[in-house]
Chain A
Amino acid sequence: MNSDLEDRIRDAYQAAGRTVQPQTLRRTTPEVAAGSTRRPRRLNADPALEAHPA
């Protein structure tokens, strides 16, 4: 019973993983050599969010 479910979980994860291919990554390096300035997160870049800290 559980092994069937575990197989379905593995299969679903593998399918989702295949949607990410090296050529679809936006970045090809971690951008650390130039001084490692912090890049704002997309959500945190929203000024409305900045006005409402947790």
Chain B
Amino acid sequence: MTVPTYRAGTGSQPDPWPATAGAAVDDLFRLHAVDLVRFALMLVGDQSTAEDVVQDAFLGLYRAWDRIRDPDAVLGYLRTAVVNGTRSVHRSRGRARLLRVQHDPPVWSAEAAVMDGEDRRAVLAAIATLPQRQREVLALKYYLDLSERDVAAIMRVSRGTVAAASSRALATLARRLGEDQ
């Protein structure tokens, strides 16, 4: 397997770059897995599922290693894979609901009881009711603190789509959270 030459010093890549794909992916996992699990958590709600999604993203990176041309794009690749993975989770949950299969409660539910703050739980519960695309935009923009341009690149949509989704999401949340107060 050919390992691409990676530039050092971006902060998102191991330095020096490992000699094998497996070692490189291992190093990237150590660098980014926790942050990616946290990001996935915002979209799926529970840590176990978030870890499954991130694990699959890294397996995908390993399999795609030979096709990676831009080393600086690795983290973006992983974030896109996480977004796509969470979409698959929601599709699976749609089927699971029909069959009454249970999954872990979201961290912001009273049932999970792992997160402090009534207002925080209310905000996240309200976000969880938004359409998938709007939830993705909010998590990328407000959790990862990315620009709309970077959000658009990760979601593979236009900046206008991101801006519109963000605007609609904020309007809906303002209305719903305002009603709750």
**Chain A residues at the B interface, C-beta cutoff of 8 Å:** 1-2, 5-6, 8-17, 19-22, 24-27, 29-33, 36, 38-39, 41-44, 46, 48-49, 52, 54
Main secondary structure of the interface of B (DSSP, over half): helix
Q: How far apart sit A29 and B58, CA to CA, in the bound complex (Å)?
A: 10
Does B17 make an interface contact (CB < 8 A)? no
Q: How far apart sit A19 and B107, CA to CA, in the bound complex (Å)?
A: 8
**A29 lies within 8 A of B26 (CB):** yes
Q: How far apart sit A18 and B115, CA to CA, in the bound complex (Å)?
A: 9
Selected from A2, A15, A26, A49, the residue in CB contact (under 8 A) with B99 is: A49
* Closest Cβ neighbor of B94 among chain A residues: A54
* Closest Cβ neighbor of A11 among chain B residues: B120
Q: How far apart sit A12 and B143, CA to CA, in the bound complex (Å)?
A: 9
Interface residues in B5-52 by Cβ distance below 8 A to A read 21-23, 25-26, 29, 33-34, 37-38, 41-42, 47-52
* Closest Cβ neighbor of B93 among chain A residues: A43
Main secondary structure of the interface of A (DSSP, over half): loop
Chain A residues lying within 8 Å of B74, measured Cβ to Cβ, are none
Q: Say yes or no: A17-B38 contact (C-beta < 8 A), given A32-B58, A52-B95.
A: yes
Chain B residues lying within 8 Å of A49, measured Cβ to Cβ, are 92, 95-96, 99, 101
Selected from B25, B52, B174, the residue in CB contact (under 8 A) with A41 is: B52
**A54 lies within 8 A of B51 (CB):** no
Binary per-residue interface labels of chain B (125-151) against chain A in the complex, 1 for a CB within 8 Å, 0 otherwise: 001000000000011001100000000
28 contacts between A and B (CB under 8 A): A8-B120, A9-B142, A9-B173, A10-B142, A11-B123, A12-B123, A12-B124, A16-B38, A16-B41, A16-B107, A17-B38, A17-B41, A24-B47, A25-B51, A26-B48, A27-B51, A30-B55, A31-B55, A32-B22, A32-B25, A42-B103, A43-B89, A43-B103, A46-B96, A46-B99, A46-B101, A49-B92, A49-B99
